[in-house]
Amino acid sequence: MEELSKALGPWPILQFALGAIIFLGGAFMVYKGISGSRSSPPSLPPTMPAGSTEEERARWRTYEAIENIEEQVFKLAEQQRVQIELTRQLVSMLDRVNDTFRRLHDILWNRNQ
């Protein structure tokens, strides 16, 4: 890249043109990605076709496995949310216990003085 910039050093208009082409290409790719105009993955058939080949059966088993993984990931994420909420409740309970012990300590300290 450094060699290219040295070679284009005497011609700043070419540097600008090359930069504009790269920028426009990147902007086009971002637009294409955002708009979703690229080809979509094949959709899952609702049921396994009756007279399908071994390759189609293998593809179907793969789709079923991916669907199962997706379901398990969502279940795991929900369990982690519940675990985080329970951990927050535990921390708040421990804070209340800590406050209670501090108050008890202060009461005993002040009584002994």
Phi/psi of residue 96, nearest 5 degrees = -65, -40
Which residues, 6 or more positions from 67, have their beta carbon under 8 angstroms from its beta carbon? 44
The amino acid sitting at 76 is L
Establish if 46 belongs to a structural domain.
no
Q: How many domains does the chain have?
A: 2
Which residue range(s) make up the domain with 2? 1-38
- SS (HEC) of 35-53: HCCCCCCCCCCCCCCCCCC
Per-residue pLDDT reduced to its tens digit, 25-67: 888 888 777 776 545 555 555 565 556 688 888 888 899 999 9
Establish if 86 belongs to a structural domain.
yes
What is the pTM (predicted TM-score) of this model?
A: 0.42
pLDDT-derived band at 83 (thresholds 50, 70, 90) equals very high
Determine the Cα–Cα distance for residues 106 and 9; give it in Å rounded to an integer: 76
Establish if 11 belongs to a structural domain.
yes
Establish if 26 belongs to a structural domain.
yes
